[in-house]
Chains A and B, each alone.
Chain A
Amino acid sequence: MKKANYFLAALLGLSIQFASAQVKKGSILIKNATVLTITEGTLENSDVLVQDGIIKKVGQNLNAPNGVTTIDATGKFLMPGIIDAHSHLGLDVVNEATAPIVAEVRMKDVVNPYEVGIYRALAGGVTISHAMHGSANVIGGQNATLKHRWGSTDPADIIMQDAPRTIKFALGENPTRVHGRGNNIQPRTRMGVEAILRNGFNEAIQYQKAWDSYNSESSKKGNSAMPPVNNERLQILSDILNDKIIIHCHSYRADEIYMLINVARDFGITKLVFQHTNEGFKVAPEIAEYTMGASVFADWWAYKFEVYYSTAYNAAILTENGAITSINSDDAELIRHLYHEAAKTQRYGGMTDEQALAMITINPAKQLGISDKVGSIEEGKQADLVIFEGHPLSSYTVPQMTFVDGVKYFDIKEDEDDQRLKVAPTEMVDAVMIYEGHDSRCMQDTEHLFETTNSLFQLNY
């Protein structure tokens, strides 16, 4: 009888949860862990209580309220969910490569919650990824910040709806190759890239003026104002000028990084993050003073000409200069072990545990504008958590469980061979699956633009 009631209550509770919100929120008590809070030090032998997806209490000897599952994490490490500030996971389309500015396109339109890479990222402790437009355009599309709620089939459920808007910019070889060499339009050079930016922003100012004057005129009686042509592209640039959108700019060379800093200062833009930023170490003080920092690779370079002048000390130099620095993956494989990537900053640059872990948690959270919600273990924050066996910066560490909003989405003990959400009824099954190397999607969907160039110069990207 009692059992039946409990069962009924559980069922009802479940159905209420589904009816009230699509996004699942969990309640758990994790006990006796070494808690790496990131912002408030390391707490030995401590408990974290999560209720309805929010961290309610961090302390010792906490008791689980009725119906809340307790997880014993004795001897294990608990850290905030890892955040990847540069990813293309979970996107059906990466590049709308056809115009130098495509600010109007939204990656949120093409989020694909079925991509198994999301689960693999969870298995590497990553709970949030920044699903970015590619780097084919000077001003690319608006990005989506994803929460890895694996199993949801509605794209809206894996989009972090309370994250601010961000947009992709790109400097240097990619946009000049696609548009200049590929299509014979501006920009063909780095000077052209700057011209595209300045012209774009100036047009956006004119566009905003036209609408402002129409809006004030049209409310007057007997006015003869005609509505201007709608241009979402310029509207988004105008939003950037008003600091409503955070720029995330693909960049390598110091000169072009400094160029964008100057363009931003000229137009009064303050919300700017550099991505890749391989020569960031040369302009680290400027990045620290004028921007929201840089998101870099730990030690990946020399894959094209503009990426030769690089160092594994980049992240440490940027950090020591006071720039907010994060380590990203830009890759469906690398995303599975960002904690290793962060650890490399200890080998190259002697970063402390806290500094190194901040580069994959609170720092990317700051760059995505979500550090008030995630990125550290603090009461009141969203319960995105990972339990590690071994310290996460150790080479031997293995993630055990990953939680988003207090809901467990990965458990190494429940990990199946085939975790795909969906298979095609027409799929031919091959007995052997071979890993085919890096899956960088920065330039996806742009291949056709290089057909001529490739055949002329036999280039191999």
Chain B
Amino acid sequence: MKKELLHAGVFCLLVSGWLSSSLAFAQSDPSGKKRITDTYAITNATVFTAPGQSGVKATVLIKDGLIVGVGSNLSLPNEAKTIAGDSLFIYPGFIDAASDVGITKPKDPERPDDFVSSNPSDEIAGITPWRSAVDQFSIKDSKVDDLRKVGFTIAQIMPDGGMLAGKAAIILLGAENSTNLLKENSGLAASFSGSRGMYPGTAVGVMAKFREIYDNTELSSQRSQKYTTVSGLKRPEITPTYSAMQEVLSGQIPVLFSTSSELEIRRAISLQKEKGFKLVLTGLEDYEEVIDVIKASGASVLVKLEIPDDKAIKAQKDDATEEVKVLNARVKKAYDEAVAQASKLEAAGIPFAFTTVGVKSGDIMKALQTMIKNGLSEKSALAALTTNSASILGISKVAGSIEKGKMANLILSTDSIFAEDSQIKHIVVDGYIYDYDTKAKKKDSKDGKEDGTVKIEGNWEYTSESPAGSSGGILSIQKEGSDYTGTITYDDPSGSGKATSPIKNVVLDGSTLSFSFDVTANGMEILVEVSGEVDSDSFKGTMNVGEFGSFPFEGTLNPTLIANK
């Protein structure tokens, strides 16, 4: 009897096993990408649940995209996949409060034959408040992973366009099988940029046009209201511009004004004072002088996550004339003040967040470290990337900290997040795990070849992968004294065949090789930066193409190859 039962049980198991696997087939996952489990336990890690909290040893349990437990005595379900977190630090996933990640600028509409530059249609003049960033976004864009790689899990994406570009949206930098949409229509993107060769062409025209649109949106809604209550009236003209502006006037969404300089900040605030809309100032670069003005306005603040280019101060020479030295000192002072600005915002008690619009992902950590070195507290830096941005975006309930019930958006790093040697090992977005390669600390030179350096002179055959497909060419490096020079060939972007550019800034640091070169495409000069590791005669790295993102780059040293000149 007992035996029979057992047999039956085994049979059942077999059948159900067979059934369930066939069921999986029936649901069809020919890609094999389907997850084995959506439950993960990151065990015994150092967890920083929110800005200002010190790290505690804990296990984080996530299931179905949510954090279901944080603590030291969690009972882990059987289906949980365990990630040993003993040497890892866990932070809440970063939130990019305004971003151009994954955004492709829509094609400019064609000018009609009867185009009049003094009175163009709204769409041609960059007035497109009805557009949505969602329509311009692709999760497959390589910049999405670039941004995720440095810790970002959520971004408010801004549409590309003119003075009123369209509606922003909040998305997760998550799996490709989801729309990843958290909130559609989270704000209206505005800027002072005019349209070339037509009205409004300059900032002064844009401000006048903004007022005009605002006032007419108000009148338009008055007309529509009257039309619905009183009979015998002429049909009011409904335009997409006024309809889309309505949510701004009713206070449902804020205007996200791109204001990099203090004068632009003042201009946006003066429009806000005049008209009374909700204002978020975004892309701030130069703002120290107006911190009080910003505070008084009550506007939310998104600081550009970038530090000024240090080329100018690096170019300052000790043997300059006295006159130049005095001028140099002013520039140096301006630089020092610029990198300390964020700390002044903190001191003023303004809960700012960061924006990455126009920022290269690879430079983000260095920018944060520089701001921290210049007075910004780690607590405020982390808040600007998590809780503050969540609160400005109105998503504090679901994101910004590591708490039971919040979205499983996490950063798993090898050290305290802002430490210079810290590397990101995993990112969790919406419960999906993304793994990243971590490099061992730079080898001491004695670990290299006998003479302590790796050899890079010669001709390298390389390939690179990009959305345009795979391409390649020859990288030729020569040594001149202690410096390296050389050339690189690549597929000519403006035609067929190969083009050649000289390489510059060639630096070999231990086994890390980096260099850059300029590519001319469509009359535009694009800087390409390559950096990676040399291991005897192979090279593995990434290629950063201007603001287009970064792509894999691999090469092998071929002693018999002769570079095409």
Contacts and interface: CB of A to CB of B under 8 A. Distances in A.
Interface string A213-245: 000000000001011111110000000000000
A51 to B, nearest CB: 29
B208 A102 contact: yes
A231 B213 CA distance: 10
Interface in B221-237: 222-223, 226-227, 230, 232-234, 236
Contact of B204 (A141, A154, A226, A425): A141
B126 to A, nearest CB: 12
B338 A224 contact: no
Nearest to A137: B118
A425 B116 CA distance: 41
B117 interface: yes
Interface stretch (B145-153, B181-189, B323-331, B483-491): B323-331
A21 interface: no
Interface stretch (B80-88, B259-267, B498-506): B259-267
Contacts of A322: none
A428 B216 CA distance: 46
Contact of B320 (A96, A183, A185, A431): A431
A425 B312 contact: yes
A424 B312 CA distance: 10
A98 interface: yes
A98 B230 contact: no
A417 B233 contact: no
B199 A99 contact: yes
Interface string A429-450: 1010000000000000100110
Contact of A96 (B199, B267, B324): B199
A110 interface: yes
Interface residues of B, number: 57
Contacts of B315: 428
B328 A98 contact: no
Contacts of A93: 202-204
Interface in A112-160: 112, 141, 153-155
A99 B212 CA distance: 16
B326 A428 contact: no
Interface in A65-87: none
Contact of A445 (B117, B201, B208): B201
Contacts of B323: 417, 431
Given A154-B266, A227-B219, A429-B328, A423 B204 contact: no
B334 A423 contact: yes
Contacts of A112: 263
A417 B326 contact: yes
Contact of A98 (B200, B219, B326): B200
B205 A105 contact: yes
B328 to A, nearest CB: 5
A431 B208 contact: no
**Does more than half of chain B's interface fall in helix, strand or loop, or is it mixed?**
helix
B443 interface: no
Nearest to A445: B202
B373 interface: no
Interface in B271-298: 289, 293
Interface residues of A, number: 46
Contact of B207 (A109, A185, A424): A109
Q: Which of A93, A153, A185 has the most CB of B within 10 A?
A: A93
A432 to B, nearest CB: 10
Interface in B326-365: 326-328, 330-331, 334-335, 337-338
Contacts of B328: 429
B203 A92 contact: yes
Contacts of B338: 425
B311 interface: yes
A96 B200 contact: yes
Contact of B219 (A107, A179, A229): A229
Contact of B309 (A153, A183, A426, A445): A426
A170 to B, nearest CB: 15
B197 A98 contact: yes
A425 B222 contact: no
B539 to A, nearest CB: 32
A41 B222 CA distance: 60
B78 to A, nearest CB: 57
B334 A224 contact: no
A185 B116 contact: yes
A106 B203 CA distance: 10
A284 interface: no
Contacts of B234: 226
Nearest to A424: B334
B74 interface: no
Interface of B: 116-119, 196-205, 207-208, 211-212, 215-216, 219, 222-223, 226-227, 230, 232-234, 236, 262-263, 266-267, 270, 289, 293, 308-309, 311-313, 315-316, 320-321, 323-324, 326-328, 330-331, 334-335, 337-338
22 contacts: A92-B203, A93-B204, A96-B200, A98-B205, A100-B118, A104-B211, A105-B208, A109-B208, A109-B270, A110-B203, A153-B289, A155-B263, A224-B226, A226-B223, A226-B236, A227-B222, A232-B211, A423-B327, A424-B334, A426-B335, A429-B327, A431-B320
Given A226-B233, A422-B334, 11 more contacts: A96-B200, A96-B205, A98-B205, A110-B207, A141-B208, A154-B266, A425-B313, A428-B311, A429-B327, A431-B323, A445-B202
Interface of A: 92-93, 95-100, 102, 104-107, 109-110, 112, 141, 153-155, 179, 183, 185, 224, 226-232, 417-418, 420, 422-429, 431, 445, 448-449
